[in-house]
Structure 1
Amino acid sequence: MLALWALILAGERDDVTAILLVAHFVEILDATDGGKKEIDHLRNDFSEINKKVMLQEDKLDDLDQYSRRNCLLVHGMPEKPGEEVRTEVLRMFETRLNVKIEARDVDRCHRIGKPKRTSAEALVEGRRPITIKFTSHQKRSLAFSAKKALKSTSILIMESLTSMRQQILKAARDKYGIRQ
């Protein structure tokens, strides 16, 4: 194509060929311009869809966090083979926190994750976190406010946060440090 343009400019090609080449060149420019407009349109569509997806992710995170409003996580409680997690947690609330939480106040209570095993038979003593779902927000708040009594122990009681909110909390702690 460039060689033909060079020949036309040098006067070695006739006017009809030059007109045909210019017309073809204009067609190519029009097609390219249409492609650019289509690309811009697709970019705008993608941007709008991306905004909608982000909005839906935020709404989903809000709903997920709302479903956790009556939940707490307990880290650091020793794990024993055949343990009754609910009983151990209720005992911890009564003896260490001096809070009266009864079995009927706990809807669900279990360890998170799979137990670690060294062989098919032996359970390795671990400390998988425990999730507790209370039947009322009042009981959950009572247990959460008493967590200060565990400050000198290896046991930690935290709010149950979504992974997005855990990342935000971690970033804030990394940036500003942990309040004592």
Structure 2
Amino acid sequence: MDSRRNPDNNKRVRSFSSTSTPSPVARSSKKSKPHSDSLYITNYSSTMADTDTGFASPHHSQTGQNPGISNQLLSQTMVQSPQMVPMVQSPQMVPMMNYQQPSGSTLTNNDIKRIAIAVREILLPDIGNIVDKHIAPLFNRVSSLEAENAELRLKLDDLEQYGRRTLVRFSGFPENEREDTTSTVLDAATSCGVDLSVDDIERSHRVGKAGRGKPRQIIMRLKSVDSKFKLLKSSRNFRNESSFKGISVNEDLTRYRDELAFLARRLVRTKSILQTWTTNGKILVKDKSSRLHTIRTEHDLVPFGHVIDMPNDHPM
């Protein structure tokens, strides 16, 4: 019988295609599962060598594969086979990751210092340019905002002091549980000849926390600024009476101005200045040359020997 007409023989003489006959690598993967990534590389290298030279490898002889497999077919088989993926993770594919510097070429500390100095000299001009271009404008902006903030604080302090223009504070009056502060002040003023009448007073009360072993101050709101000036001018008469020598009267100042007045009085005690007082909310000092100075900020006291220890609430 003619073998060409036999269907079985037709299967044997059928031409090779990538869809009908698996590649040697794919066929070997079906037989046994490789145990390491190196086996994939070995099979692949051997197959490539056999294909390029045209000679069949022992692997080809065992499987009966035609030695004339094209490189294109082999590459397609390698991509389609999931067992080829571990080749990427094989240490043989990335030999530089396990590279170690030879022992004879190690860097000394002097070498590292020289490298650091060279890098610094290279980067220093660029860093200076960055500072001049980006950081310096920000620094100038912050300084401008701080100056503006200080000016606004002073204006706010002026407004607050203006609202206190008719207030006075009395210190040294003994404190009782059920007392009338207005009557207490009027009795003392009448005894000492202080210019103060009931028509000048709007209201009064104690300020501060009680129970500190010291009598609290009495704050009084007068009906006019003129009444305040008359009271302050005649308040020295309290010193003429022995029973009221500890009484003092002062303008009601803002917290910031009260701190400045305290610092100015401390300079008087150290004999750095001759005298200090307040008038209409302004703090005045007289230096050793009898010249008057208006104190607006803590820095104004520095020429008289004051030392700024800590930042103030008003950074000026």
Query: TM-score, normalised to structure 1's length?
Result: 0.71
8 Å CA contact 2:210–2:216 kept in 1: the answer is: yes
Residue 47 of structure 1 and its aligned partner are, at CA, apart by 0.5
Distance 1:45 1:98, change over 3 A: closer
Q: Which residue of 2 aligns with 1:80?
A: 176
Q: Are residues 1:53 and 2:149 paired?
A: yes
Residue 116 of structure 1 and its aligned partner are, at CA, apart by 0.5
Runs of 4+ in 1 over 4 A off after TM superposition: 28-32
Q: Which residue of 2 aligns with 1:112?
A: 207
1:63-102 superposed matches below 5 A = 63-102=159-198
Residue 35 of structure 1 and its aligned partner are, at CA, apart by 4.3
Distance 1:98 1:55, change over 3 A: closer
Query: Could you tell me how far apart the structure 2 residues matched to 1:114 and 1:164 are?
Result: 20
Residue 177 of structure 1 and its aligned partner are, at CA, apart by 4.5
Query: 5+ residue gaps in structure 1?
Result: 7-20, 118-123
Q: Which residue of 2 aligns with 1:161?
A: 253
Residue 98 of structure 1 and its aligned partner are, at CA, apart by 4.2
Equivalent residue pairs, number? 151
Q: Are residues 1:37 and 2:148 paired?
A: no
Q: Which residue of 1 aligns with 2:291?
A: none
Q: Based on CA coordinates, which of the two structures has the bigger radius of gyration?
A: 2
SS of aligned partner of 1:151: helix
Query: Could you tell me how far apart the structure 2 residues matched to 1:97 and 1:155 are?
Result: 14
Query: Could you tell me how far apart the structure 2 residues matched to 1:71 and 1:38 are?
Result: 51
Q: 1:176 aligns with which of 268, 273, 282?
A: 273
Query: Could you tell me how far apart the structure 2 residues matched to 1:105 and 1:116 are?
Result: 30
Residue type at the aligned position of 1:176: I
Q: Which residue of 2 aligns with 1:130?
A: 218
Residue 34 of structure 1 and its aligned partner are, at CA, apart by 2.7
Query: Could you tell me how far apart the structure 2 residues matched to 1:73 and 1:146 are?
Result: 14
Residue 36 of structure 1 and its aligned partner are, at CA, apart by 3.9
Query: Could you tell me how far apart the structure 2 residues matched to 1:98 and 1:171 are?
Result: 29
Task: Identify the structure with bigger relative contact order (alpha carbons < 8 Å, sequence gap 6+).
Answer: 1
8 Å CA contact 2:194–2:235 kept in 1: the answer is: no
Residue 29 of structure 1 and its aligned partner are, at CA, apart by 5.4
Q: 1:139 aligns with which of 214, 227, 233?
A: 227
Query: Could you tell me how far apart the structure 2 residues matched to 1:78 and 1:176 are?
Result: 32
Query: 5+ residue gaps in structure 2?
Result: 1-110, 277-316
Residue type at the aligned position of 1:49: L
8 Å CA contact 1:101–1:139 kept in 2: the answer is: no
Q: Aligned residues: percent identity?
A: 25
